[in-house]
């Protein structure tokens, strides 16, 4: 599939999931339930991921993602900042997992998306808040 067609497909998916989130949030407001975060960057990343090929079984996820151009999302772009204006997460995969699980309720295709951290956990660079890659997560279809 061409990149132009993939981008259009990702944008269409992002618009569709945003509409579903808005509908769900209206219903949640009436019930007094917590709202679902609607983030354009994450929605576009999910749409782009759904337009890619699935990872073959038995592959190393991080290695496969690095060599096959998997979608990379930066948690700082999808998380609301705290009062000091900083994102204090150094476990970005947990943030992405929580968002994907919540969105999978609205669209079952999202449940096919898996994630892995851009850097290996436990390495000094993964725990360094000044390292920009410490906040990145790969998205791929498992």
Q: What is the pLDDT of residues 94-131, one digit of tens each?
A: 889 999 999 999 999 999 999 999 988 778 888 787 88
Longest dimension (CA), the chain: 46
The residue count of the chain comes to 142
Cβ atoms of 19 and 51 within 8 Å: the answer is no
Question: Please, which residues have CB within 8 angstroms of residue 70's CB and are 6 or more apart in sequence?
Answer: 49, 52, 64, 138, 139, 140
Q: In the prediction, which pLDDT does 129 show?
A: 78
pLDDT tens digits, one per residue of 38-83: 999 999 999 999 999 999 999 999 999 999 989 999 988 888 666 6
- What's this model's pTM, rounded to 2 decimal places? 0.87
- 20 vs 128, more confident: 20
Residue located via tokens 């990343």: 45
Nearest to 69 by CA among 55, 88, 87: 55
Cβ atoms of 129 and 135 within 8 Å: the answer is no
Q: In the prediction, which pLDDT does 88 show?
A: 60
**Which of the residue ranges 8-12, 34-38, 85-89, 112-116 would you say has the lowest mean pLDDT?**
85-89
């Amino acid at each position: 599939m061409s990149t132009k067609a993939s981008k259009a497909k990702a944008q269409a998916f992002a618009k569709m999931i945003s509409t579903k989130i808005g509908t769900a949030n209206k219903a949640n407001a009436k019930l007094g339930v917590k709202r679902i975060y609607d983030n354009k960057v994450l929605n576009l990343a999910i749409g782009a991921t759904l337009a890619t090929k699935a990872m073959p079984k038995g592959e190393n996820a991080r290695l496969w993602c690095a060599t096959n151009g998997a979608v990379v999302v930066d948690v700082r772009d999808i998380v609301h900042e705290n009062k000091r204006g900083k994102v204090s997460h150094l476990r970005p995969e947990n943030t992405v997992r929580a968002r994907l699980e919540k969105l999978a309720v609205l669209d079952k295709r999202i449940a096919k998306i898996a994630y892995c951290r851009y850097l290996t956990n436990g390495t000094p660079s993964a725990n360094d808040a000044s390292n920009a890659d410490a906040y990145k997560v790969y998205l791929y279809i498992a």
